Structure 1
Amino acid sequence: MDDTQQITEDEFKRLADFLYRRTGMVFTETKRYYVERRIIERIVATSSRSFAGYFAYLRSETRNEVEHLINAFTVNETYFYREDHQLACLSSDLLKERVTAKRPGDTIRIWSVPCSTGEEPYSIAIWLLENWKDVDAYDIEIVGSDIDTRVLEAAAEGIFGKRALMRLSPELIERYFHGLDDERWQILEDLRQSVRFSRVNLIETKETRPQGRFDVIFCRNVLIYFDDESRRIAAENLYDNLLPGGFICLGHTESMSRISPLFEVCRYSGAIVYRRPQELRA
């Protein structure tokens, strides 16, 4: 297929519907150029002669090509200590409330979803080591999940460039990374081993439920890509993945109050977060 050829309106709708059913992400005509560029790349990569040929291959193929297609449409813009006011709230307020019902040595579970190439879950680990005085008193389990299998592989490898590290001080970079060359740094193996990575689709209960329940979930800047129905499904899945009294942190442009009535709004000095109530509502 010539990479200058455009897909038809009907083909665009079929593809958008396929992606929506698989991921919950909504692609409208305003994203047409973005969609066309990526679908043409997959058509060429699979040696298909046309969109019709590729779509038939996609629907009959194993999970591999579906994964490749989904990977092509995910957005992975992130860096260390992004929205660090929420990290400050985590160490000063959220964990203080969560440990009231725990004993030293108990497990505290934190979930970063989507985690992209790992900057967020590693940021949580570094922040707690630097800023939470009780970090050694509890067994802290950090899980990073994403729908994009490529970024999960990169996250596990833990190699980052200058832009990803731009908000970290030279002291933190020296303490938690080792340089590979002038442009790349790898996070220390101990920290890489402290984070577990898994593939998860937020609108698939069969994928979210096995992750277990968490004390705190960071789910930032992904629900904006969903429509109302997909947001509701994702919110219900996230609710089920929280322990009673557990917290969820969204991106600064997102509001759980507009999505689901299941959560309580909690306002702290540094952030607005959402909590699963201690008691189930009638």
Structure 2
Amino acid sequence: MTSSTKTAGAALTVSDFEKFRDYFYKRTGIQFTESKRYFVDKRIETCIRQAGYSGFASWFAALRLNDRSGLLQELINQLTVNETYFLREDYQFESLIRTVLPDVLAARGGVGRLNGPVKILSLPCSTGEEPYSIALRLLEEWDQIDHVDVEIHGADIDSDVLARAELASYNERSVHRVPPAWRKKYFTPVGVRYQLDEGIRDAVTLHQINVCDTVAMRGFRDFDVIFCRNVLIYFDELSSRRAAENLYGALRPGGYLFLGHSESMSRISPIFTPARLPEGIVYQRPIGGSR
């Protein structure tokens, strides 16, 4: 098969796919292998059709030449995976409340001597279940919540899921792990969906960001805790290392980083110190580390 031959049933030639893959990797840090051809082709075909282009060549030229066209963002929205639900990997929230936050307070001088709020970042936040889960757990189970100012931020590269996070309307699957008492207290049934309480929504500030974008990530600083779960597995070695360095820069010295259960920072970068807590492993930016 030559590079100009279409793969059966695909929207792209092999050459087209290689051009797209290189471009998308440079812009997002996400790399698609040949095994993802069917997934990628179908979504690019959707983007081309929705944008009204006659084929890949004209669409791809417009994509590269005009960042303001919205074509790149639509492509990102099509190609990013946003599988999530409330209280996922709940043992990490247990660790946050039982071990990490008490350590953060102690390291910052205690409840009465904090200089600024405790800051928590969830990235990627997808449709909001994770940062809203953090807010729910703190309100319901952290005994210091009435005495400590907490800022919770959610961030994602996908503008569509951020819009859905702002709406905060969820299906049964999203809330299936929420205790019945919490569901009654914080959610309003609307047809077959559940509308999250406005107070919880207002407790989370949402941002659009690419964790591999070093310049943009410089705007994120002095976080005490970052949840960055199940995203580094989509990056190659170089992008993972860049993301790790950006997360390091976003944390306070001594701040904590939670990864997904299948991810390991030891395979990516030595700049974090692993901390083995009763609930599992978390990664810490060393105190005294360079900014």
Q: Which residue number corresponds to residue 172 of structure 1?
A: 182
Q: 1:16 Cα shift?
A: 0.8
Comparing 255-264 and 95-104, the one that deviates more: 95-104
Cα 1:125–1:61 change in 2 (3 A) is same
Instruction: State the match for 1:82 in structure 2.
Output: 88
**Deviations along 1:197-251, whole A, 9 cap, x unmatched?**
0001111112111122200000000000000000000000000000000000000
- 3-state secondary structure, aligned to 2:287: coil
SS at match of 1:211: coil
Tell whether 2:154 aligns with 1:135. no
Q: Report the CA distance shift for 1:5/1:29 in structure 2 as closer, same or farther (over 3 A).
A: closer
**Which residue of 1 is the match for residue 247 of structure 2?**
238
Match of 2:5 in 1: none
CA distance in 2, matches of 1:87, 1:13: 40
Q: Which residue number corresponds to residue 148 of structure 1?
A: 158
Separation in 2, partners of 1:197, 1:6: 35
Residue type matched to 2:44 in 1? I
CA-CA distance at 1:131 after TM superposition: 1.3
CA RMSD, Structure 1 to Structure 2 (Å): 1.3
Determine helix, strand or coil for the equivalent of 1:86.
helix
Secondary structure of the residue aligned to 1:175 is helix
The alignment's TM-score, normalised by the length of structure 2, stands at 0.93
Extract unaligned runs of 5+ from structure 2: 1-8
Q: In terms of mean alpha carbon deviation, does 202-211 or 228-237 score higher?
A: 202-211
Q: Separation in 1 of the partners of 2:67 and 2:270?
A: 38
Cα-to-partner distance string for 1:102-124 (whole Å, 9 max, x where unaligned): 43364100000000000000000
AA matched with 1:149: S
Residue 265 of structure 1, aligned match among 268, 274, 279: 274
Shift in Å, 1:269? 1.0
Q: Secondary structure at the match of 2:87?
A: coil
Query: Match for residue 197 of structure 1?
Result: 206
Q: Aligned pair 1:207/2:216, yes or no?
A: yes
Give, in whole Å, the separation in 1 of the partners of 2:253 and 2:20.
Answer: 39
Indicate the SS of the match to 2:219.
helix
Residue number among 240, 251, 255 corresponding to 2:264 in the alignment: 255
- Once the two structures are TM-superposed, the CA of residue 61 in structure 1 deviates from its matched residue by 2.4
Q: Are residue 25 (structure 1) and residue 34 (structure 2) matched?
A: no
Fraction of identical pairs, as percent: 45
Deviation at 1:5, TM superposition (A): 4.9
Q: Name the SS for the 2:166 alignment partner.
A: helix
- SS of 2:240's equivalent? helix
1:171/1:36 Cα in 2 relative to 1: closer, same or farther (>3 Å)?
same
Conservation of the 8 A alpha-carbon contact between 2:135 and 2:200: yes
Q: Which runs of 5+ in 1 are unaligned?
A: none
Cα distance in 1 for residues equivalent to 2:280 and 2:195: 30
- Give the letter for the 1:222 counterpart: V
- The residue number in structure 2 matching 1:217 is 226
CA change 1:19–1:269 in 2 (3 A) is same
State whether residues 10 and 38 of structure 2, in contact with CA within 8 Å, keep that contact through their aligned partners in structure 1: no
CA distance in 2 between partners of 1:37 and 1:77 (Å)? 19
